[in-house]
Amino acid sequence: MESATVPQVDNSEPVRLASMSRRRIAGRILAHAVLIGIGVFYLMPLVWLISTSLKATRQIFVYPPEWIPNPVIWRNYVDMFTYAPFHRYAMNTALVVILNLFGTIFSCSLVAYGFARFPHVRGNRVLFIVMLSTMMLPYMVWLIPLYIVYSKIGWVDTFLPLIVPSFFGVPLFIFLLRQFLMTVPQELGDAARIDGCSHLQTFFRVMMPLIKPALATVAIFTFINHWHELLGPLIFLQSPSKFTIAIGLRVFQTVHSTKWGLLMAASTTALLPVIIVFFFAQRQFIQGITLTGLKG
């Protein structure tokens, strides 16, 4: 009588899967460790800035460096307003930023709508290429001609040179918004036109709500650029009462000494709005950057 054959059980597959799972987990741990290390490296200057803003002058240059202030000098954040009119600098900067936000969003979105929705118009592509070519000219190249023009019309030492150019569009933002608008189905605009909307009504009522992520991206870039802008205010503003934050920080540095504690406290205060804006708008920012390149 022949004995029955016992089937062989293959245990190699679970072992292989377990090994792959362990390698995958190890890879993720390593990737997270590297990313955390890079994050800590980039956060060190910010931590040192905040730490220095809470120190007395004698503690700032001690060696080895003290990362944790002892004692904590909170008064630096009060004295910076008495040493210099920092509140005036912040108000001037806020005025410039708000008007630039309005001008940039309005002008760039309107021009981008024309480039994206009227490709059949003669010269559309040529004008778009010419507009993009202006990005190759650095700001410093036409700064002197601009200063001459503004001085002739009496705009020097006013906020107008810092605000008015935003109402004529920014090539980079026009490009981003055009790319985003080209992802919006043409049928939506056609439906609005059938319902009796004009081109401007279609733009404001249909297109503007659909491109909010791209507009958020433009708004964040505009806010950051103009909140920390130095070159423009440095060239066109002369009266201390009109200084922005970027120039006002220079007040804490004199010929004979530098108020390092007050300077770091003012720098931390100036950096705080940018961090807050990006923290609350980072989702729209990432979504706008991702979707603006889907269609050429």
Contact indicator for 294, 183 with CB cutoff of 8 Å: yes
At 194, the pLDDT band (50, 70, 90 cuts) reads confident
- What is the residue-averaged pLDDT of the chain? 82
Give the dihedral sign, CA 143/179/107/274. negative
85-291 to CATH, choices 2.170.190.11, 3.20.20.70, 1.10.3720.10, 3.60.60.10: 1.10.3720.10
Residue 130: name the closest of 144, 117, 110, 111 by CA: 111
Contact indicator for 244, 265 with CB cutoff of 8 Å: no
Lowest-pLDDT range, 88-102, 135-149, 150-164? Answer: 135-149
Q: What does the pLDDT read at residue 96?
A: 94
C-alpha to C-alpha distance for 211 and 192, rounded to whole angstroms:
16
Greater model confidence, 289 or 149: 149
Two structure tokens written together for 47: 């931590």
Q: Which residues pair with 258 in a beta bridge?
A: 253
- 239-250 mean pLDDT: 88
Q: What does the pLDDT read at residue 295?
A: 44
* Type of residue numbered 260: W
Greater model confidence, 292 or 96: 96
Residue 99 reports pLDDT greater than 90: yes
Contact indicator for 283, 98 with CB cutoff of 8 Å: no
- 194-220 mean pLDDT: 83
- 204-222 mean pLDDT: 85
Q: What does the pLDDT read at residue 108?
A: 92
Two structure tokens written together for 216: 């958020």
Contact indicator for 284, 92 with CB cutoff of 8 Å: no
Residue 125 reports pLDDT greater than 50: yes
Q: What does the pLDDT read at residue 75?
A: 86
Domain boundaries, the chain: 19-73, 85-291
11-39 pLDDT per residue, tens:
566 666 666 677 778 778 888 889 898 98
Residue 76 reports pLDDT greater than 90: no
* Type of residue numbered 184: V
DSSP secondary structure letter of residue 70: S
Residue 256 reports pLDDT greater than 70: no
165-184 pLDDT per residue, tens:
999 988 989 988 888 888 88
Q: What does the pLDDT read at residue 5?
A: 54
96 by DSSP, 3-state: which? Answer: helix
Q: What does the pLDDT read at residue 294?
A: 45
